[in-house]
């Protein structure tokens, strides 16, 4: 490589590094200050340090000597869209695209000087793809995620006797404060589940609520539901996302702070935390109690719904632990007046 070519290569690497670090910082500020997400903020900071460390393998003097901002013809070329942004979403999206493109440039030109540098930048590029896609899903304009952020009461329901009774119950619950309904019925056949899921999704749209299908991403997709909820042993979040696409919600059951952290990394939209107390729907060998809720409240930015045996006798323990969202079954289903029970739970969660 001639001296002139080497200098040009260093100039490209210097400019692309600056663009990449600026883009990463722009995304990091949104994660840190707008959505208060420590996991995504930490990941973006880690990628920044990885990029800086990789470039640090090169002589800094060579990079600085190659820098020639006054002589950069690109500074005189601009498009109208560069001087304005339609929304915060477009700011973050532009930063993500700029970062990915710059990292690819560094990787390709870096191969001519230092293959280890190129390998580290490749790793940073793939990590950027992952975190940027998760970050863009948090941006304003995503109505499902906005409603999820506002949600506090989540009720699990079975398929009921028929469409009419299921529809009446769903409508009543939404009208009395339930934000999210999840269809969970392991005894119903697929066609029945699909019929109820389609009906529930329509009613949710009419009432401004969310409708989730338990376990079955395929049925959630076919029914046009708002998303799917999976357990630790069911379909992984990434595969559910491939089925449902980027705009639908994916919830994940978690039973420890480690699983909650993993849910964030996997790209879940919300988590269920429990089982908190003993209930009548399922029996478990171990109950996490309010201790897990305190850990999640202190560390996890995703919407977190306490689940397991929660009712009017213990919901105050949930809110005292810092969690103001709950998923219930029997507390509403078995109440003399399910609608009134739902309304009272909603009031208590708001305290």
Known binding-site residues equal: 214-215, 234, 253, 282, 309
- Cβ atoms of 197 and 223 closer than 8 Å: yes
Question: How many angstroms from the chain centroid is the CA of residue 270?
Answer: 7
**Cα separations (Å) of 106 from 19, 54, 99, 295?**
10, 10, 11, 40
Structural element, H or E, at residue 305: strand 304-307
Q: Which residues pair with 307 in a beta bridge?
A: 327
**Tokens, residue 259:** 């699983």
CA angle 4, 9, 15 (to 5 degrees): 125
Residue list, annotated binding site for Mg(2+): 215, 234
- Cβ atoms of 75 and 7 closer than 8 Å: no
Residue 275 preceded by cis peptide, ω within 30: yes
Quote the CA–CA distance of 323 and 350 in Å, as a whole number: 10
């Amino acid at each position: 490589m001639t001296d002139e070519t080497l200098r040009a290569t260093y100039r490209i690497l210097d400019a692309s590094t600056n663009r990449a670090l600026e883009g990463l910082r722009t995304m990091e500020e949104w994660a840190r200050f707008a959505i208060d997400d420590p996991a995504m903020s930490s990941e973006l900071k880690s990628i920044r340090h990885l990029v800086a460390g990789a470039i640090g393998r090169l002589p800094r003097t060579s990079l600085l000597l190659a820098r020639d901002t006054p002589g950069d013809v690109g500074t005189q070329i601009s498009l109208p869209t560069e001087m304005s942004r339609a929304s915060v979403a477009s700011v973050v999206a532009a930063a993500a695209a700029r970062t990915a493109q710059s990292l690819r440039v560094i990787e390709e030109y870096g191969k001519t000087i230092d293959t280890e540098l190129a390998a580290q930048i490749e790793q940073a590029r793939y990590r950027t793809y992952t975190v940027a896609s998760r970050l863009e899903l948090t941006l304003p304009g995503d109505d499902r995620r906005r409603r999820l952020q506002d949600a506090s009461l989540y009720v699990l329901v079975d398929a009921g006797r028929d469409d009419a009774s299921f529809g009446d119950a769903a409508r009543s619950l939404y009208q009395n404060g339930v934000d999210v309904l999840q269809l969970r019925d392991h005894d119903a056949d697929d066609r029945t589940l699909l019929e109820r899921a389609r009906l529930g999704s329509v009613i949710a749209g009419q009432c401004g609520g969310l409708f989730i299908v338990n376990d079955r991403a395929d049925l959630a997709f076919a029914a046009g539901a708002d998303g799917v909820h999976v357990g630790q042993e069911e379909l992984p979040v990434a595969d559910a996302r491939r089925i449902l696409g980027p705009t639908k919600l994916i919830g994940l059951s978690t039973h420890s702070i480690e699983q909650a952290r993993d849910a964030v990394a996997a790209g879940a939209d919300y988590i269920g935390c429990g089982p908190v107390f003993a209930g009548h729907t399922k029996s478990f060998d171990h109950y996490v109690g309010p201790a897990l809720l305190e850990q999640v409240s202190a560390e996890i930015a995703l919407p977190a719904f306490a689940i397991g045996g929660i009712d009017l006798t213990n919901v105050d323990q949930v809110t005292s632990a810092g969690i103001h969202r709950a998923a219930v079954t029997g507390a509403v289903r078995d109440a003399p007046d399910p609608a009134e029970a739902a309304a009272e739970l909603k009031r208590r969660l708001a305290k």
